[in-house]
């Protein structure tokens, strides 16, 4: 079998040698390049999206259209030198990592500070070292998603670029560590084109991917067709994921049952891949700008610049000018269709007798890419399976096949190479290039081959259709999933372009010239590099403007403290429809208390009954029997302990399964273990909130109406006496503010320093959709909710000033089954919970009411929600609840847990916890 050693060398330096006038021109191109990042003009956007873009002084334009003026703010920000972190899923020489490397090298020459991070190593490490780009390897959470990446402080970067959709787990873990503000700086570069919604690229963690995608500073997508696919996928699932209930800029979305779905995702941008930078000097194009002279594209011309390369590399495989060389540059995998191409080639090789008598030349196949040498066994098997001898059908009768006439000699399997001359040389040496992938978002090898005047045989899917036009610069065939029809058409196209025939030579020359001219007209790298830099500048400026607005606080006037144009960038620069208003976004501070190293969680034994508040199976209270009233809710009620003795329990669900809500209310005396009825609530409630305030009254508010859908805004209070007895009726208080209400809320009493009275801090409310049963008139509704949703809003209530909005939680708790523990006068520790559908939490957040800030202080031993947690003798306990899959190591909800853990708190937290009630446990359902 043919082989060729892949020599490794480094490409020429990417440092710019452009004259001053060209540099000025590139700055102008940079100022307007952001317009090329918007969806193509041919895909008409809804009116409200157009208005949103016009507010920021943007206009629709595609990468194919003419440039227009960009926002003044973007132009002024073009001089800013950014600190950029670039994350790649690996450092192989495949398409996506190469694109990221070229962007990094260009941005470094522009004066930006580049740090490279990868989940796996590879051959590109040599290129990074040669270019002087710092890089490091992080935990491979793509292959091992149960492991954890290193949290990277977003304050150390202006923008973070994530390459490919498979970096999803890394992004998820960073958001877990830093909250939604991390996404303001994120540019997620998607190169994948899923075939359908069940494709692994889209299906894994689909609801969470939709949430993250909608909230990233930008999502750069490499072709218009792939952009259309991802946007449609995100919006098709927006309703089920609850994305349509996210807070909008300037206001908070209500819990209405049919809120408007977003018509588009304005942060999804088309940034079409270019001709690689390394190829430009070899094509004698100068700096690759649009002003460069068009080279000769005809292979028949004496001025064709790659003629000597063609001759040299054809000699490497013993090919003469009469031979017909088929090339594929790809990774050897089923998705890339390499084995299917090999089978088609074998059939074409067998049909050599169909050539006109006397036509010289052989048919050869060159396969270049990762794992290509592993095809050797398939080649041997194909040769053994030939019905005729290993010589072509047209060989002389009875003659032994010469060594050069065997199938093994006709197939050359070469590994990938980082040598730019080699790579371009093989394109020049070939007569046709095949892309046989199931679907490509762009297919960068096609433009590489077209630059070498090489006709393309490509599949009819994805971004390839934006590059290869049938019978213009290539021939199209169905993807391999089409079966025999696709294989037959690929075989026909290979034979149709056979240069050993006059018709094949003429057609190949015609298609090759057209492809070459199209590459130089549309795919030169400078356009792409300028557009990429403009996109990163825009996201960085938007994140900075959001940070300034957040620091200005809730009371700041609109635009206060912002640079000119920054307010406009805020409205269109980053996921404006899905992120909180900047003044409300969480303030996440760096406060590393080394909880994971100072506090080790121990134990996983079954929880003893003495640790439980109530054993739900037998209704045992600390191993003593309690006569549970039949009309009192058994689940989803509200409870509060007053004076260390009196447990008040109100409302809830009447039985363990789907059943009507109740308005019953009782007091349990923990000394006598006797239940006593107290006045019923005025109306039934499902999962309301109960609190005791300084006015000596029990306050009940929120929850859901019996329909399990409508958030309740009613607020009632009941007098409580020192002996635990109560008044005769609930009084009606002022209702909750608009948009409040909802079930499963968390409430903690805190008193910020410098304030005269404590306040109830209230967050994590949810609502849901459920189908009514036949006896809905009796208040009976189904527990099988269509979906559940919530938001990140944090409110407080005090007797003197009523309700007040604070900065949001770092992460929206869609289903707020976290556990909150008061630590001192103004601080609470929040343990676990659930962020979105299918996304549990393990983060320990510390909320400081005086600063109105959040700090990540560590992680729980497992992902969980609905658990019991508490403080006892300076130790943090966790028990029960629903843990994540894989014994709690996965963020996806799993089985109910009967395990317990404890950890000694570090000195900073233990000291703050001194003011909390000793030996107490809190239960969060």
CB neighbours of residue 111 within 10 Å: 10
Element (H, E) at 805: strand 802-805
pLDDT of residue 570: 36
Taking a C-beta distance cutoff of 8 angstroms, is the pair 537, 529 a contact? no
Q: Are residues 724 and 868 in the same domain?
A: no
Q: Which residue carries 């590459």 as its tokens?
A: 519
Q: Are residues 326 and 416 in the same domain?
A: yes
**CA 676 to CA 418: how far, in whole Å?**
80
Instruction: Kindly give, in sequence order, each residue whose CB lies less than 8 Å from that of residue 636, ignoring residues fewer than 6 positions away.
Output: 652, 653, 686, 687, 743, 925
pLDDT of residue 630: 81
Q: In what order do the strands lie in the sheet with 432-435?
A: 411-414, 363-368, 324-329, 432-435, 456-459, 474-477
3-class DSSP state for residue 858?
strand
pLDDT of residue 243: 64
Q: Which two tokens stand for residue 15?
A: 């440092």
Q: Which two tokens stand for residue 590?
A: 């760096």
Taking a C-beta distance cutoff of 8 angstroms, is the pair 508, 496 a contact? no
Q: How many CA atoms lie within 13 A of 236 on its CB side?
A: 10
Of 52 and 851, the structure prediction assigns the larger pLDDT to 851
**Mean pLDDT calculated for residue range 505-510:** 97
Taking a C-beta distance cutoff of 8 angstroms, is the pair 865, 815 a contact? yes
Sign of the Cα pseudo-torsion (719, 725, 728, 729, in order): positive
Of 8 and 336, the structure prediction assigns the larger pLDDT to 336
**CA 269 to CA 123: how far, in whole Å?**
30
**CA 151 to CA 157: how far, in whole Å?**
13
Q: Are residues 796 and 838 in the same domain?
A: no
pLDDT of residue 797: 96
pTM: 0.77
pLDDT digits (tens, 9 = 90+) for 112-126: 999 999 999 998 999
Position 271 in a domain: no
List beta partners, residue 433.
Answer: 327, 456
pLDDT of residue 579: 60
pLDDT of residue 654: 76
Residue 892 buriedness (CB in 10 A; 0-12 / 13-18 / 19+): middle
pLDDT of residue 697: 96
Q: How high is the mean pLDDT of the chain?
A: 77
**Percent of the chain having pLDDT more than 90?**
41
pLDDT of residue 503: 96
pLDDT bucket at 877, cuts 50 / 70 / 90? confident
Position 280 in a domain: no
Q: Are residues 570 and 654 in the same domain?
A: no
CA 108 to each of CA 28, 82, 88, 104, 205: distance values in angstroms, whole numbers, following the listed order:
19, 10, 17, 6, 34
pLDDT bucket at 76, cuts 50 / 70 / 90? very low
**CA 689 to CA 640: how far, in whole Å?**
9
Q: Are residues 352 and 405 in the same domain?
A: yes
Of 579 and 409, the structure prediction assigns the larger pLDDT to 409
Q: Are residues 418 and 499 in the same domain?
A: yes
Position 770 in a domain: no
Q: Assess whether pLDDT exceeds 60 at residue 413.
A: yes
Taking a C-beta distance cutoff of 8 angstroms, is the pair 842, 862 a contact? yes
CA dihedral 117, 121, 124, 127 (to 10 degrees): 60
Q: Assess whether pLDDT exceeds 80 at residue 31.
A: no
What is the tally of structural domains in the chain? 4
> Considering 804, 834, 849, which residue would you say is the last residue of a domain?
804
Q: For 103-107, 122-126, 609-613, which range has the lowest pLDDT when averaged over its residues?
A: 609-613
pLDDT bucket at 340, cuts 50 / 70 / 90? very high
pLDDT of residue 553: 63
Q: Assess whether pLDDT exceeds 80 at residue 146.
A: yes
Q: What DSSP assignment string belongs to 249-284? A: TTB-----SSPPPPS--TTEEE----S-TTHHHHTT
pLDDT of residue 819: 84
Query: 56-85 b/e with 16+ CB inside 10 Å = b?
Result: bebebbbbeeebeebbebbbbbbeeebebb
What's the full length of the chain, in residues? 925
pLDDT of residue 733: 96
CA 571 to each of CA 49, 338, 859: distance values in angstroms, whole numbers, following the listed order:
11, 46, 34
Q: Assess whether pLDDT exceeds 70 at residue 494.
A: yes
Q: Are residues 506 and 534 in the same domain?
A: no
Of 442 and 510, the structure prediction assigns the larger pLDDT to 510
**CA 134 to CA 113: how far, in whole Å?**
10
Taking a C-beta distance cutoff of 8 angstroms, is the pair 369, 329 a contact? yes
Position 185 in a domain: yes
Q: Which residue carries 């446990």 as its tokens?
A: 921
**CA 447 to CA 445: how far, in whole Å?**
6
Position 756 in a domain: no
**Mean pLDDT calculated for residue range 553-572:** 40
Q: For 185-199, 441-455, 894-908, which range has the lowest pLDDT when averaged over its residues?
A: 894-908
Dihedrals phi, psi of 903, to nearest 5 degrees: -150, 135
Q: Are residues 360 and 502 in the same domain?
A: yes
Position 820 in a domain: yes
Q: Which two tokens stand for residue 665?
A: 């209310």
3-class DSSP state for residue 294?
coil
pLDDT of residue 781: 57
pLDDT bucket at 737, cuts 50 / 70 / 90? confident
Q: In what order do the strands lie in the sheet with 638-642?
A: 638-642, 646-653, 661-669, 674-677
Q: What DSSP assignment string belongs to 715-763? A: EEEEEB-TTS-B-SSPEE-PPPPTT--BBS-EEEEE--TT-SS-EEEEE
Q: Assess whether pLDDT exceeds 90 at residue 105.
A: yes
Q: For 332-336, 621-625, 795-799, 841-845, which range has the lowest pLDDT when averaged over its residues?
A: 621-625
Measure the CA angle with vertex 600, ends 594 and 604; round to 5°.
145
List beta partners, residue 162.
Answer: 87, 188
Q: What DSSP assignment string belongs to 347-412? A: HHHHGGGGSPTT----EEEEEESTTGGGGHHHHHHHHHH-SS-SS-TTSPTTPPPPGGGSHHHHEE
**Mean pLDDT calculated for residue range 876-889:** 83
pLDDT bucket at 74, cuts 50 / 70 / 90? very low
Taking a C-beta distance cutoff of 8 angstroms, is the pair 501, 355 a contact? yes
**CA 115 to CA 123: how far, in whole Å?**
18
**CA 14 to CA 903: how far, in whole Å?**
53
**CA 808 to CA 246: how far, in whole Å?**
13
Of 99 and 397, the structure prediction assigns the larger pLDDT to 99
CATH of residue 643's domain is 2.120.10.80
3-class DSSP state for residue 469?
coil
Q: Assess whether pLDDT exceeds 80 at residue 75.
A: no
Q: Which H, E and C letters describe 532-555, residue by residue?
A: HHHHHHHHHHHHHHHHHHHHHCCC
Position 6 in a domain: no
Q: Are residues 434 and 308 in the same domain?
A: yes
Taking a C-beta distance cutoff of 8 angstroms, is the pair 638, 690 a contact? yes
Residue 588 buriedness (CB in 10 A; 0-12 / 13-18 / 19+): buried
Q: Are residues 459 and 563 in the same domain?
A: no
Q: Which stretches within 275-320 are classed as H helix? A: 279-282, 307-316
pLDDT of residue 509: 98
Instruction: Kindly give, in sequence order, each residue whose CB lies less than 8 Å from that of residue 785, ignoring residues fewer than 6 positions away.
Output: 708, 768, 769, 770
Q: Which two tokens stand for residue 341?
A: 């191409």
**Mean pLDDT calculated for residue range 877-900:** 82
| Beta-strand pair 83-88/113-118 | parallel
Q: Assess whether pLDDT exceeds 90 at residue 772.
A: no
Number of H helices, E strands in the chain: 24, 40
Measure the CA angle with vertex 507, ends 501 and 511; round to 5°.
145
Q: Are residues 797 and 823 in the same domain?
A: no
Position 282 in a domain: no
Q: Are residues 451 and 349 in the same domain?
A: yes
pLDDT of residue 287: 54
pLDDT digits (tens, 9 = 90+) for 781-817: 556 566 666 667 889 999 999 999 888 888 766 666 7
**Percent of the chain having pLDDT more than 70?**
70
CATH of residue 394's domain is 3.40.50.2000
The domain in which residue 182 lies consists of: 36-71+82-246+527-574
pLDDT digits (tens, 9 = 90+) for 348-384: 998 865 555 556 789 999 999 989 999 999 999 999 8
């Amino acid at each position: 079998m043919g082989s060729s050693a892949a020599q490794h060398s480094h490409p020429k330096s990417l440092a710019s040698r452009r004259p001053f006038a060209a540099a000025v021109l590139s700055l102008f191109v940079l100022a307007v390049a952001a317009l090329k990042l918007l969806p193509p003009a041919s895909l008409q956007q809804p009116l409200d999206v157009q208005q949103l873009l016009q507010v920021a002084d943007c206009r629709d334009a595609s990468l194919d259209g003419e440039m227009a003026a960009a926002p003044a703010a973007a132009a002024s920000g073009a001089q800013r030198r950014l600190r950029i972190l670039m994350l790649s899923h690996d450092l192989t020489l495949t398409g996506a990592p190469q694109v990221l490397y070229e962007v990094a090298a260009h941005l470094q020459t522009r004066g930006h500070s580049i740090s490279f991070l990868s989940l796996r190593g590879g051959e590109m490490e040599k290129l990074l070292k040669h270019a002087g780009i710092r890089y490091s390897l992080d935990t491979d959470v793509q292959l091992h998603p149960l492991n954890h990446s290193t949290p990277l402080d977003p304050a150390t970067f202006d923008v973070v670029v994530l390459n490919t959709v498979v970096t999803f787990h890394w992004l998820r873990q960073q958001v877990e560590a830093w909250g939604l503000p991390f996404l303001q700086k994120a540019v997620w570069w998607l190169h994948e084109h899923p075939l359908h919604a069940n494709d692994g690229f889209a299906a894994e963690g689909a609801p969470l991917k939709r949430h993250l995608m909608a909230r990233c500073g930008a999502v750069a997508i490499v072709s218009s067709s792939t952009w259309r696919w991802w946007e449609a996928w995100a919006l098709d699932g927006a309703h089920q994921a609850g994305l349509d209930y996210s807070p909008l800029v300037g206001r908070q979305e209500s819990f209405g049952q049919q809120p408007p779905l977003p018509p588009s995702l304005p942060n999804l941008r088309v940034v079409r891949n270019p001709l690689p930078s390394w190829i430009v000097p070899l094509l004698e194009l100068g700096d690759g700008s649009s002003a460069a002279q068009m080279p000769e594209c005809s292979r028949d011309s004496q001025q064709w610049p790659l003629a000597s390369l063609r001759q040299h590399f054809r000699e490497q495989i013993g090919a003469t000018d009469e031979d017909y060389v088929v090339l594929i540059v790809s990774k050897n995998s089923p998705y890339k269709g390499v084995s299917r191409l090999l089978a088609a080639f074998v059939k074409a090789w067998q049909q050599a007798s169909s050539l006109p008598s006397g036509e010289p030349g052989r048919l050869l196949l060159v396969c270049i890419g990762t794992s290509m040498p592993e095809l050797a066994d398939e080649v041997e098997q194909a040769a053994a399976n030939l019905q005729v001898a290993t010589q072509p059908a047209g060989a002389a009768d009875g003659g032994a096949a010469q060594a050069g006439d065997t199938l093994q000699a006709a197939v050359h399997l070469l590994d990938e190479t980082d040598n730019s001359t080699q790579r371009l040389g093989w394109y020049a040496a070939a007569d046709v290039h095949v892309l046989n992938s199931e679907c490509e978002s762009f297919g960068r090898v096609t433009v590489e081959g077209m630059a070498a005047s090489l006709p393309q045989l490509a599949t009819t899917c994805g971004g390839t259709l934006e590059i290869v036009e049938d019978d213009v610069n290539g021939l199209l065939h169905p993807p391999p999933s089409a079966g025999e029809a696709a294989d037959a058409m690929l075989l026909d196209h290979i034979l149709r372009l056979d240069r050993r025939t006059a018709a094949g030579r003429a057609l190949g020359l015609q298609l090759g010239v057209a492809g070459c001219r199209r590459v130089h007209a549309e795919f030169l790298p400078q356009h792409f590099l300028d557009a990429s830099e403009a996109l990163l500048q825009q996201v960085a400026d938007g994140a900075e403007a959001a940070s300034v607005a957040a620091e200005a606080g809730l009371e700041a006037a609109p635009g206060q403290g912002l640079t000119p144009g920054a307010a406009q960038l805020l409205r269109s620069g980053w996921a404006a429809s899905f992120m909180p208003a900047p003044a409300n976004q969480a303030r996440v501070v760096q406060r590393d208390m080394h909880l994971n190293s100072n506090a080790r969680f121990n134990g996983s034994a079954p929880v003893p009954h003495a640790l439980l508040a109530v054993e739900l199976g037998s209704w045992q209270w600390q191993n003593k029997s309690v006569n549970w009233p039949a009309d009192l809710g058994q689940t989803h009620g509200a409870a509060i302990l007053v004076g260390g003795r009196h447990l008040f329990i109100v409302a809830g669900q009447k039985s363990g399964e789907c059943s009507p809500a109740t308005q019953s209310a009782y007091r349990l005396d923990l000394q006598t273990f006797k239940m006593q009825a107290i006045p019923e609530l005025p109306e039934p409630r499902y999962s309301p909130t109960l609190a005791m305030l300084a006015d000596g009254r029990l306050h009940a508010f929120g929850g859901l109406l019996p329909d399990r859908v409508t958030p309740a805004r009613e607020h009632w209070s009941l007098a409580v006496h020192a002996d635990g007895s109560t008044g005769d009726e609930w009084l009606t208080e002022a209702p909750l503010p608009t948009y409040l209400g909802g079930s499963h809320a968390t409430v903690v009493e805190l008193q910020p320093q410098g304030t005269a009275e404590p306040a109830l801090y209230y967050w994590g409310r949810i609502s849901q959709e459920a189908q009514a049963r036949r006896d809905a008139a009796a208040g009976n509704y189904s527990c099988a909710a269509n979906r559940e949703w919530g938001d990140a809003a944090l409110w407080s209530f005090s007797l003197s000033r009523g309700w007040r909005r604070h900065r949001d939680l770092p992460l929206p708790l869609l289903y707020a089954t976290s556990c909150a523990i008061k630590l001192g006068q103004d601080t609470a520790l929040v343990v676990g919970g659930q962020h979105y559908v299918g996304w549990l939490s393990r983060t320990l957040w510390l909320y400081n009411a005086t600063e109105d800030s959040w700090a990540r202080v560590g992680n729980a031993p497992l992902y969980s929600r609905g658990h019991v947690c508490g403080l006892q003798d300076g130790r943090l306990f966790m028990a029960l609840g629903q843990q994540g899959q894989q014994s709690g190591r996965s963020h996806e909800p799993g089985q109910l847990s009967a395990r317990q853990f404890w950890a000694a708190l570090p000195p900073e937290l233990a000291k703050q916890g001194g003011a909390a009630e000793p030996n107490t446990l809190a239960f969060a359902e």
